[in-house]
Structure 1
Amino acid sequence: MRLNSLTPTDVLVESVELLNCRALEAANGEEALAVIEQRGQEIALVLSDVVMPDMGGIELLHILVERRVPVSIVLLTGHPMNRELEELCAQGMCDWLPKPPNLERLARVLARALGERQEVSGHVMAG
Protein backbone atom coordinates (compact mmCIF):
# COMPACT_ATOMS: atom_id res chain seq x y z
CA MET A 1 0.00 0.00 0.00
CA ARG A 2 1.39 3.42 -0.94
CA LEU A 3 1.94 5.81 1.95
CA ASN A 4 0.00 8.66 0.33
CA SER A 5 -3.01 6.39 -0.22
CA LEU A 6 -3.41 5.49 3.46
CA THR A 7 -6.55 6.73 5.18
CA PRO A 8 -6.45 7.80 8.85
CA THR A 9 -8.15 4.49 9.70
CA ASP A 10 -5.48 2.57 7.76
CA VAL A 11 -2.77 4.35 9.75
CA LEU A 12 -4.56 3.61 13.03
CA VAL A 13 -5.01 -0.08 12.16
CA GLU A 14 -1.35 -0.39 11.16
CA SER A 15 -0.28 1.37 14.37
CA VAL A 16 -2.39 -1.00 16.48
CA GLU A 17 -0.87 -3.97 14.66
CA LEU A 18 2.66 -2.59 15.19
CA LEU A 19 1.86 -2.78 18.91
CA ASN A 20 1.17 -6.53 18.56
CA CYS A 21 -2.61 -6.28 18.73
CA ARG A 22 -4.95 -7.65 16.10
CA ALA A 23 -7.28 -5.06 14.60
CA LEU A 24 -10.72 -5.22 13.05
CA GLU A 25 -11.99 -2.24 11.09
CA ALA A 26 -15.35 -0.51 10.75
CA ALA A 27 -16.23 2.65 8.81
CA ASN A 28 -18.71 3.92 11.40
CA GLY A 29 -20.50 3.05 14.61
CA GLU A 30 -23.21 1.04 12.87
CA GLU A 31 -20.61 -1.19 11.20
CA ALA A 32 -18.76 -1.50 14.51
CA LEU A 33 -21.94 -2.71 16.23
CA ALA A 34 -22.47 -5.31 13.50
CA VAL A 35 -18.89 -6.58 13.88
CA ILE A 36 -19.23 -6.63 17.68
CA GLU A 37 -22.47 -8.62 17.40
CA GLN A 38 -20.72 -11.19 15.18
CA ARG A 39 -17.33 -11.35 16.90
CA GLY A 40 -17.87 -9.77 20.31
CA GLN A 41 -16.13 -12.55 22.24
CA GLU A 42 -12.91 -11.76 20.34
CA ILE A 43 -12.95 -7.99 20.92
CA ALA A 44 -11.22 -6.55 23.99
CA LEU A 45 -11.12 -2.86 23.03
CA VAL A 46 -12.97 -0.43 20.79
CA LEU A 47 -11.06 2.57 19.38
CA SER A 48 -13.60 4.92 17.85
CA ASP A 49 -13.49 8.36 16.31
CA VAL A 50 -15.95 10.76 17.92
CA VAL A 51 -17.06 12.04 14.49
CA MET A 52 -18.05 9.42 11.90
CA PRO A 53 -20.83 9.17 9.31
CA ASP A 54 -24.13 7.59 10.37
CA MET A 55 -23.12 6.89 13.99
CA GLY A 56 -20.25 8.52 15.83
CA GLY A 57 -18.16 7.29 18.71
CA ILE A 58 -20.17 8.90 21.50
CA GLU A 59 -23.40 7.24 20.37
CA LEU A 60 -21.50 3.96 19.96
CA LEU A 61 -20.15 4.34 23.52
CA HIS A 62 -23.65 4.86 24.91
CA ILE A 63 -25.03 1.81 23.08
CA LEU A 64 -22.16 -0.44 24.18
CA VAL A 65 -22.53 0.69 27.80
CA GLU A 66 -26.32 0.29 27.68
CA ARG A 67 -25.94 -3.24 26.27
CA ARG A 68 -23.23 -3.99 28.85
CA VAL A 69 -20.80 -5.13 26.19
CA PRO A 70 -17.60 -6.08 28.07
CA VAL A 71 -15.08 -4.00 26.09
CA SER A 72 -12.84 -1.08 26.94
CA ILE A 73 -13.76 1.99 24.90
CA VAL A 74 -11.24 4.62 23.77
CA LEU A 75 -12.44 7.62 21.77
CA LEU A 76 -10.35 9.65 19.34
CA THR A 77 -11.03 13.32 18.80
CA GLY A 78 -9.52 16.19 16.89
CA HIS A 79 -11.51 18.76 18.86
CA PRO A 80 -10.95 20.10 22.38
CA MET A 81 -13.52 18.41 24.63
CA ASN A 82 -12.23 18.90 28.19
CA ARG A 83 -15.56 18.92 30.07
CA GLU A 84 -17.16 16.44 27.73
CA LEU A 85 -14.26 14.00 28.18
CA GLU A 86 -14.76 13.99 31.96
CA GLU A 87 -18.46 13.27 31.45
CA LEU A 88 -17.69 10.52 28.93
CA CYS A 89 -15.29 8.88 31.41
CA ALA A 90 -18.10 8.90 33.98
CA GLN A 91 -20.37 7.29 31.35
CA GLY A 92 -18.02 4.39 30.62
CA MET A 93 -15.25 5.64 28.33
CA CYS A 94 -11.92 4.11 29.35
CA ASP A 95 -9.66 6.78 27.82
CA TRP A 96 -9.28 9.09 24.84
CA LEU A 97 -6.64 9.99 22.27
CA PRO A 98 -6.09 13.18 20.29
CA LYS A 99 -6.07 12.84 16.51
CA PRO A 100 -3.79 11.87 15.05
CA PRO A 101 -2.46 9.76 17.93
CA ASN A 102 1.28 9.25 18.16
CA LEU A 103 2.50 5.68 18.55
CA GLU A 104 3.90 6.20 22.06
CA ARG A 105 0.63 7.57 23.47
CA LEU A 106 -1.37 4.92 21.61
CA ALA A 107 0.83 2.23 23.19
CA ARG A 108 0.29 3.65 26.71
CA VAL A 109 -3.47 3.93 26.27
CA LEU A 110 -3.80 0.42 24.81
CA ALA A 111 -1.68 -1.08 27.59
CA ARG A 112 -3.71 0.68 30.27
CA ALA A 113 -7.08 -0.15 28.68
CA LEU A 114 -6.23 -3.78 28.01
CA GLY A 115 -4.59 -4.09 31.43
CA GLU A 116 -7.81 -2.91 33.08
CA ARG A 117 -9.55 -5.82 31.40
CA GLN A 118 -6.75 -8.15 32.53
CA GLU A 119 -6.98 -9.67 29.08
CA VAL A 120 -4.37 -8.76 26.53
CA SER A 121 -5.55 -11.21 23.90
CA GLY A 122 -8.37 -10.25 21.63
CA HIS A 123 -9.01 -7.90 18.79
CA VAL A 124 -9.07 -4.13 18.83
CA MET A 125 -11.89 -2.50 16.86
CA ALA A 126 -10.61 0.55 15.01
CA GLY A 127 -12.71 3.02 13.15
Structure 2
Amino acid sequence: MVAGKRALQTATGIFVGWGSFQGRDYYVRQFRDMKIILDIKLLAPCLVEFAAACGETLARAHARSGDAVAISGYLGKGSQFATALRDFSRLYADQNERDHAQLERAVAAGKVASAPGW
Protein backbone atom coordinates (compact mmCIF):
# COMPACT_ATOMS: atom_id res chain seq x y z
CA MET A 1 0.00 0.00 0.00
CA VAL A 2 2.66 2.46 1.02
CA ALA A 3 4.88 1.64 -1.97
CA GLY A 4 1.92 2.21 -4.31
CA LYS A 5 1.01 5.46 -2.59
CA ARG A 6 4.57 6.73 -2.90
CA ALA A 7 4.63 5.77 -6.60
CA LEU A 8 1.50 7.86 -7.21
CA GLN A 9 2.72 10.96 -5.44
CA THR A 10 4.86 13.56 -7.19
CA ALA A 11 6.52 14.30 -3.85
CA THR A 12 6.98 11.67 -1.20
CA GLY A 13 4.84 12.42 1.82
CA ILE A 14 6.84 12.37 5.01
CA PHE A 15 3.75 11.26 6.90
CA VAL A 16 3.16 8.14 4.79
CA GLY A 17 4.61 4.97 6.18
CA TRP A 18 4.07 1.67 7.85
CA GLY A 19 5.18 -0.19 10.89
CA SER A 20 4.52 -3.16 13.11
CA PHE A 21 3.34 -3.16 16.69
CA GLN A 22 2.70 -6.25 18.80
CA GLY A 23 2.70 -8.51 15.75
CA ARG A 24 0.31 -6.40 13.65
CA ASP A 25 1.17 -4.32 10.60
CA TYR A 26 -0.12 -0.74 10.35
CA TYR A 27 -0.42 1.72 7.48
CA VAL A 28 0.09 5.32 8.60
CA ARG A 29 -0.79 8.54 6.81
CA GLN A 30 -1.82 12.09 7.58
CA PHE A 31 -5.33 13.05 6.56
CA ARG A 32 -5.68 16.26 4.61
CA ASP A 33 -7.17 19.15 6.51
CA MET A 34 -9.74 19.70 3.77
CA LYS A 35 -11.73 17.23 1.67
CA ILE A 36 -14.02 18.09 -1.22
CA ILE A 37 -16.87 16.42 -3.03
CA LEU A 38 -16.97 17.44 -6.66
CA ASP A 39 -20.23 18.75 -8.06
CA ILE A 40 -20.55 17.04 -11.44
CA LYS A 41 -22.22 20.14 -12.91
CA LEU A 42 -19.15 22.19 -12.06
CA LEU A 43 -16.81 19.48 -13.29
CA ALA A 44 -18.53 18.88 -16.65
CA PRO A 45 -16.96 21.85 -18.51
CA CYS A 46 -13.50 20.71 -17.37
CA LEU A 47 -14.01 16.97 -17.80
CA VAL A 48 -11.44 16.60 -20.59
CA GLU A 49 -8.78 18.40 -18.54
CA PHE A 50 -9.73 16.40 -15.42
CA ALA A 51 -9.47 13.11 -17.35
CA ALA A 52 -6.08 14.19 -18.73
CA ALA A 53 -4.82 14.96 -15.20
CA CYS A 54 -6.03 11.55 -14.00
CA GLY A 55 -4.30 9.89 -16.96
CA GLU A 56 -1.06 11.73 -16.25
CA THR A 57 -1.18 10.64 -12.61
CA LEU A 58 -1.78 7.03 -13.60
CA ALA A 59 1.02 7.17 -16.19
CA ARG A 60 3.39 8.64 -13.60
CA ALA A 61 2.56 5.86 -11.15
CA HIS A 62 3.17 3.19 -13.78
CA ALA A 63 6.39 4.86 -14.90
CA ARG A 64 7.71 4.76 -11.34
CA SER A 65 6.53 1.24 -10.59
CA GLY A 66 8.70 -0.76 -12.97
CA ASP A 67 11.87 -0.99 -14.97
CA ALA A 68 11.49 1.61 -17.74
CA VAL A 69 13.89 -0.19 -20.09
CA ALA A 70 12.08 -3.52 -19.68
CA ILE A 71 8.67 -1.88 -20.19
CA SER A 72 9.89 -0.03 -23.27
CA GLY A 73 11.32 -3.23 -24.71
CA TYR A 74 8.07 -5.06 -24.07
CA LEU A 75 5.96 -2.37 -25.75
CA GLY A 76 8.25 -2.00 -28.75
CA LYS A 77 8.39 0.91 -31.19
CA GLY A 78 5.32 0.20 -33.32
CA SER A 79 1.76 1.35 -32.85
CA GLN A 80 0.35 -2.05 -31.87
CA PHE A 81 0.16 -1.23 -28.14
CA ALA A 82 -1.40 2.19 -28.76
CA THR A 83 -3.98 0.62 -31.07
CA ALA A 84 -4.81 -2.09 -28.53
CA LEU A 85 -5.11 0.51 -25.77
CA ARG A 86 -7.38 2.68 -27.93
CA ASP A 87 -9.62 -0.27 -28.81
CA PHE A 88 -9.83 -1.40 -25.18
CA SER A 89 -10.62 2.16 -24.03
CA ARG A 90 -13.48 2.48 -26.50
CA LEU A 91 -14.95 -0.88 -25.47
CA TYR A 92 -14.59 0.03 -21.80
CA ALA A 93 -16.29 3.40 -22.38
CA ASP A 94 -19.19 1.56 -24.02
CA GLN A 95 -19.40 -0.75 -20.99
CA ASN A 96 -19.41 2.25 -18.65
CA GLU A 97 -22.34 3.73 -20.57
CA ARG A 98 -24.25 0.44 -20.29
CA ASP A 99 -23.48 0.24 -16.56
CA HIS A 100 -24.63 3.83 -16.01
CA ALA A 101 -27.86 3.23 -17.92
CA GLN A 102 -28.52 0.18 -15.75
CA LEU A 103 -27.85 2.26 -12.62
CA GLU A 104 -30.26 4.97 -13.81
CA ARG A 105 -32.96 2.33 -14.36
CA ALA A 106 -32.36 0.92 -10.87
CA VAL A 107 -32.63 4.41 -9.32
CA ALA A 108 -35.82 5.13 -11.29
CA ALA A 109 -37.30 1.81 -10.11
CA GLY A 110 -36.43 2.62 -6.49
CA LYS A 111 -34.01 -0.30 -6.20
CA VAL A 112 -31.02 1.96 -5.50
CA ALA A 113 -30.97 5.13 -3.41
CA SER A 114 -29.68 8.27 -5.09
CA ALA A 115 -27.96 11.32 -3.65
CA PRO A 116 -28.62 14.19 -6.10
CA GLY A 117 -25.68 16.52 -6.64
CA TRP A 118 -23.15 13.84 -5.85
Tell me the TM-score range normalised by the shorter chain: under 0.3
What's the TM-score, normalizing by structure 1? 0.20
Q: Name the structure with the higher helix share.
A: 2
Q: Name the structure with the higher strand share.
A: 1
Larger Rg: 2
What's the TM-score, normalizing by structure 2? 0.22
